[in-house]
Structures are given as C-alpha cells and as structure tokens.
Amino acid sequence: MNRRYRKTVIAGNWKMNKTAAEARTLIDELKPLIAKVKWCDIVLCVPFVDIPAAIKAAKGSKIAIGAQNVHFEKSGAYTGEISAEMLAGLGVKYVIIGHSERRQFFLETDDTVNKKVVSALEAGLRPIICVGESLEQRDQNVTLDQIRLQVKIALKGISAKELKKVIFAYEPIWAIGTGRTATCEQANEVCDNIRACLREIYGARAARSVTIQYGGSMNAKNAKDLLAQEDIDGGLIGGASLKANDFSQIIDAANQ
C-alpha cells in the first residue's frame, strides 16, 4: 500500500450468496467490528436483490454498497438486466465490472467491459475493473501481455479525470475459489505492471493515484503480507467477505 498517493479499498464480493435478511444480519455483525477503521474504505458488493436491505443496514456506518454487475445501456429491451442509473438511484456507489466469472460463464468480453465502465462512470458509479490470466496463460508466460490488453481495452475513451474514479482488481483466475494464492511477489509484479500501463497512457501522476486491488483468495492469514506490497492497495474479497470476523481481520490488516 502507498497511502501517500492513493486510497486503500477493501471490497467484499458476495457473489450469489445471502438473502436480504441474511445481508442485514451480516452487516449488523460487521459494523461494530470496523467502527474504528480510519485508513481504508470498505465496500460490500452484494446481489441485486440485497441492495436496498444492505444500503439500509449500512446507513451511518463506514460501509459503502456496491453491485456485482451492470448493463451498458441506459434502458431498453434487455430482460433481466440492470442499468447504471438504476443502481445509482438506489444509492449504490461501486460496481464490479469484468469479473472472471462473468467473462467465463456469461461470455463477457473486453469490449463489453469497456462499455460498462463508460456507463458506470456516466452514472457516477466507481467501477472496480477486474483483470486476470488463466493458469494456461501464466504457464505460457503471457500474463503481463494479457493484463495490459485487458487494461487498455477497458479504458478506451476514458479520460484522465475519469480515471480518478476507477479501481482495478487483479484476479488471477487460477487463484479464485481454489484456495491457491499468488505469492506476494507474483501479485505485486502484476499490479506494478498495471500501474506501468496506466503510466504509459495517462502519465505518472495519474497512474500513481489509482487504487489497484488483489483479488485472488486474499484471506485473514495472507492479507497483511499481500497488503505490505507497494502496488497492492486493497483487496477484492470473495469467500472471506461472507464471514464478519474474517472480513474484519482483512480490514484490520489494511488499516495498519
């Protein structure tokens, strides 16, 4: 982390878990555990149906609520989809875009990720843009090439001013939900590469202000070591965000 230049952000991705009632319970459990946090922002990205209950439960706390996906059109015949304006109207502040599960199971592409980023920014949301490589790509030694491609396409048409609202999350696909985690050095290398790519496009000042999270099975045990890396500014947390004690321990590590 480098708080001199950028925010530390710990975001929970609940994926397809928790009913509205369960969401309220978990947030109520979490609030007293993070009441004294000063040095990092806290986000919970919850299922669409949980958003109203989560926003109500988080009111007055340090927790912001995010969504896990968004459509790039403002309205239209897109059955089952949700627009950025709809999310903003509920009080949502953040939205995950391009998560590997969306790319893998729902055929999202780099181009649709870019469209969603543009739409989110226009609605005043902060996009958390996910980038990452498969195990095959890492074994073929094309990780950095793959990441740079995803970063550049995601930011097509995005200005330096808009970049200030963008968060990147490096999520090695081979480390999500597998219990495997990139070493601190591997994770920081890719996060450093993301920042180098941003520097080439927007310049050094803009690049150093962007928060870059690690999103590959960060947990209470490894969070401190990962967050000690210069270019890892937070975490996009999956399973550990579903347990108040585990999630609060990661937040504590980020608050040091």
Alpha helices in 31-139 (DSSP H): 51-58, 84-90, 100-105, 110-122, 135-139
Rounded CA gap, 36 and 26, in Å?
Answer: 18
How many other C-beta atoms are found inside a 10 Å radius of the C-beta of residue 146? 17
Q: Give me the catalytic one of 71, 99, 108, 133.
A: 99
Judge whether 233 and 209 are in contact, CB under 8 Å: no
Count CA atoms within 13 Å of residue 217 on its CB side. 13
Judge whether 201 and 210 are in contact, CB under 8 Å: no
Q: Does the annotation mark 99 as catalytic? A: yes
Q: Does the annotation mark 101 as catalytic? A: no
Q: Residues with Cβ < 8 Å from 186, sequence gap 6 or more? A: 172
Q: Give me the catalytic one of 101, 108, 133, 171.
A: 171
Rounded CA gap, 11 and 213, in Å?
Answer: 9
Catalytic residues: 99, 171
